């Protein structure tokens, strides 16, 4: 079945550091890929998405490119802020699985001043 | 647009009682709703998928008689945890899928409901 693997956390960075959170997937067909963010005490929010190979999703300085050849969708940000501290989830959505989202385990990010 | 309201956000109940969690799509019609469970420091695990007017489809290992899901209208789905026990304590999250105001399909999450069973 479909699955998502993302790097284990927690990740601790200093403010203005470069962020990469790795995400790889296994899926049949042509899934859509997502990054969701969960701030402390809040629900999931869509951060960005890509629906086909080579698409780049971007939002709030975060970027991720859908790489079919490496089955990856790594999340990057050039300069993180304290307010980016949250848990980040990589997910895929596939018509083969009824359009439910299949999540990775989440990566906790802590940005220190 | 595409807002999903989930209620209650926190609930504490005694062991053996039942708890109902509501999930409402506020500005779009949710043809499909998904219910997830999230354990501390874990990912979201899909429990069931419900289409309006149909019986929910449960994931393997999820007891359908324990987690009753009703999706009687295009804007409301409910999850009832029956005869709750401490091991049912968790964070329950719904998401709703449907056509938004622009006609494009949307998928939006509720803020979640934290259940603590004493």
Q: pLDDT by residue for chain A (113 residues), tens digit each?
A: 889 999 888 999 999 999 999 999 999 888 999 999 988 877 788 999 999 999 999 999 999 999 999 999 999 999 999 999 999 999 998 877 667 889 999 999 999 99
Which tens digit of pLDDT belongs to each residue from B14-45?
Answer: 999 999 999 999 988 888 999 999 887 778 89
Which tens digit of pLDDT belongs to each residue from B38-62?
Answer: 887 778 899 999 988 888 999 999 9
Name the phi and psi angles at A10, rounded to 5.
-75, 155
Query: Predicted confidence band at B99 (pLDDT cuts at 50, 70, 90)?
Result: confident
pLDDT at residue A40 in the model: 82
Give B77's strand partners. Answer: B23
Smallest Cα distance from A105 to chain B, Å? 4
Average pLDDT, chain B: 90
pLDDT at residue B43 in the model: 81
Between chain A and chain B, the number of residue pairs with CB atoms below 8 A apart is 43
Query: Predicted confidence band at B1 (pLDDT cuts at 50, 70, 90)?
Result: low
Query: Predicted confidence band at B90 (pLDDT cuts at 50, 70, 90)?
Result: very high
Selecting from A36, A89, A99 the residue whose C-beta is nearest the C-beta of B97 gives A99
pLDDT at residue B104 in the model: 67
Instruction: Kindly state whether A98 is in contact with chain B, defined as any CB-CB distance less than 8 angstroms.
Output: yes
**Assigned token pair, B71:** 């999706």
Query: CA dist A92 to A2, A28, A60, A76, B76, Å?
Result: 8, 11, 21, 18, 25
Cβ(A92)–Cβ(A32) under 8 Å?
Answer: yes
Interface of A with B in 49-88 (CB under 8 A): none
């Amino acid at each position: 079945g479909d699955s998502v693997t993302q790097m284990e956390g927690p990740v601790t960075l200093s403010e203005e550091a470069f962020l990469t959170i790795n995400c790889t997937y296994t899926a049949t067909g042509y899934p859509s890929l997502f990054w969701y963010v969960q701030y402390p005490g809040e629900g999931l929010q869509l951060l960005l998405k890509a629906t086909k190979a080579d698409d780049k999703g971007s939002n709030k300085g975060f970027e991720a490119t859908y790489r079919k050849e490496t089955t990856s969708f790594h999340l990057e940000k050039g300069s993180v802020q304290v307010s980016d501290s949250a848990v980040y989830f990589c997910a895929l959505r596939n018509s083969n699985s009824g359009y439910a989202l299949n999540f990775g385990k989440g990566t906790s990010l802590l940005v220190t001043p | 647009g595409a807002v999903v309201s989930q209620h209650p956000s926190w609930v504490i109940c005694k062991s053996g009682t039942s708890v109902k969690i509501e999930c409402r799509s506020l500005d779009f019609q949710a043809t499909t709703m998904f219910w997830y469970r999230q354990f501390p420091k874990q990912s979201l695990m899909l429990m069931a998928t419900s289409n309006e007017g149909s019986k929910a489809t449960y994931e393997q290992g999820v007891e359908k008689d324990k987690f009753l899901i009703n999706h009687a209208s295009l804007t409301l789905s409910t999850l009832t945890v029956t005869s709750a026990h401490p091991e049912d304590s968790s964070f329950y999250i719904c998401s709703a899928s449907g056509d938004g105001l622009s006609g494009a399909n949307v998928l939006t999450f509720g803020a979640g409901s934290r259940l603590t069973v004493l």
